[in-house]
Homo-oligomer: A and B are copies of this chain.
Amino acid sequence: MGLSDFNALLSYAKYVSSHVEEVIYDLLNKEPQKLYDASKHLIKAGGKRLRPLALVLSGRMYGLPENLGFIAGAAVEILHNFTLVHDDIMDKDTFRRGVPTVHVLYGVDMAILAGDTLFAKAYEALGLLERYVPAERLVKAFKELTWAAVTVAEGQALDMDFEGRMDVSLEEYLTMIYKKTAALFKASLNIGALLAGAPEKELKLLSEFAEGVGIAFQIRDDVLGLVGDEKTLGKPIYSDLREGKKTVLVIYALSKLSNEEKERISKVLGNRSASVEELRKVAELIISTGAVDYAEKLADEYLSRGLNALNMTNPQDFEAKEMLKNLALYVTSRTY
């Protein structure tokens, strides 16, 4: 992707983002004040709004007017933020996007309720489309959003279960990140296309695209969690290790290390009182196995599969397709 493509994408992303946020705040500037303040907190803190962007672009590919994409985009962005608010409680994460998490600021009870409110508001956003799209398509969009919500919860359950296990396989990891990360990206692309009335064959290709890009994105995110810095991450370094997350890097390293080294890792992984120095040593041990290279190759493979599927789509708006390709390259790029 050239610099001008990149700039065009970023500028379009900003344009979409501002319109999507307008829809979101219309839905969330309500009372009781404290409930909606807690509900807005994480959204206000930032975020790249990648899912609405993907939705607007897939919609455009098959003729959905942008302004309808903004509304449906608000739905997937709100749903995404709901999952983050609740995940942060479960993972005991205290920072995200460079600010304290909702439960830290408002308490666990209010964070649970704020998440629930966001969940419902995602559906309310979709419901705004009632007058503008054929009901058959809107029902399919509701079902797709629901599939994503169920699947993301199942993914989070697996992720939590894996924290207590040292024998997680690569296959299990891939299933988990498909559910936890790729599913909502897939739903975003499908909702755009469904609302536009795209044919089944195109939906299938978009799903393959989303699966590949979503998994590549999560693998890259796991790599970033090991080698990135706090500023880029917006949260404390090594939090994946501290929480005992079984990322592809950990799984690969465990398969390569001696029993003695494994023992060393297992003492630190998931140990919430481990020092940064201990965590750093474990990170170095993991990196020494070549886990980062391995993970990056795996991510590349998934990205290629995704891009091949996108390449085979046959939309009416080729500029949107091109931007979607650039979006995929951007979110999976290795600029740590």
Task: Decide yes or no whether A186 CB sits under 8 A from chain B.
Answer: no
Task: Decide yes or no whether A45 CB sits under 8 A from chain B.
Answer: no
* Chain A interface, DSSP helix/strand/loop, else mixed: helix
- Is there an interface contact between B130 and A149, defined as CB atoms closer than 8 Å? no
What are the residues of chain B within 8 A of A9 when measuring CB–CB? none
What are the residues of chain B within 8 A of A157 when measuring CB–CB? 32, 34-35, 110, 113
Assembled-state Cα–Cα distance A121/B109 (Å): 22
What are the residues of chain B within 8 A of A322 when measuring CB–CB? none
A161's partner among B34, B123, B140, B160 (CB-CB below 8 A) is B34
Give the interface residue-count category, chain A: 35 or more
Decide: A154 near B32, CB < 8 A? Known: A135-B138, A142-B127. Answer: yes
Assembled-state Cα–Cα distance A140/B153 (Å): 26
A130's partner among B31, B34, B143, B145 (CB-CB below 8 A) is B143
Question: What per-residue 1/0 map shows which CB atoms of A138-163 lie under 8 Å from chain B?
Answer: 11101101110110011011101100
Decide: A116 near B32, CB < 8 A? Known: A135-B138, A138-B135. Answer: no
A153's partner among B89, B117, B145, B153 (CB-CB below 8 A) is B117
Question: What per-residue 1/0 map shows which CB atoms of A30-44 lie under 8 Å from chain B?
Answer: 111011000000000
Assembled-state Cα–Cα distance A197/B90 (Å): 42
Report which residue of A130, A139, A145, A149 has the largest number of chain B beta carbons within 10 angstroms of its beta carbon. A139
Residues A157-206 near B (CB distance < 8 A): 157-158, 160-161
A-B pairs with the 4 shortest C-beta distances?
Answer: A135-B135, A120-B149, A35-B157, A123-B146
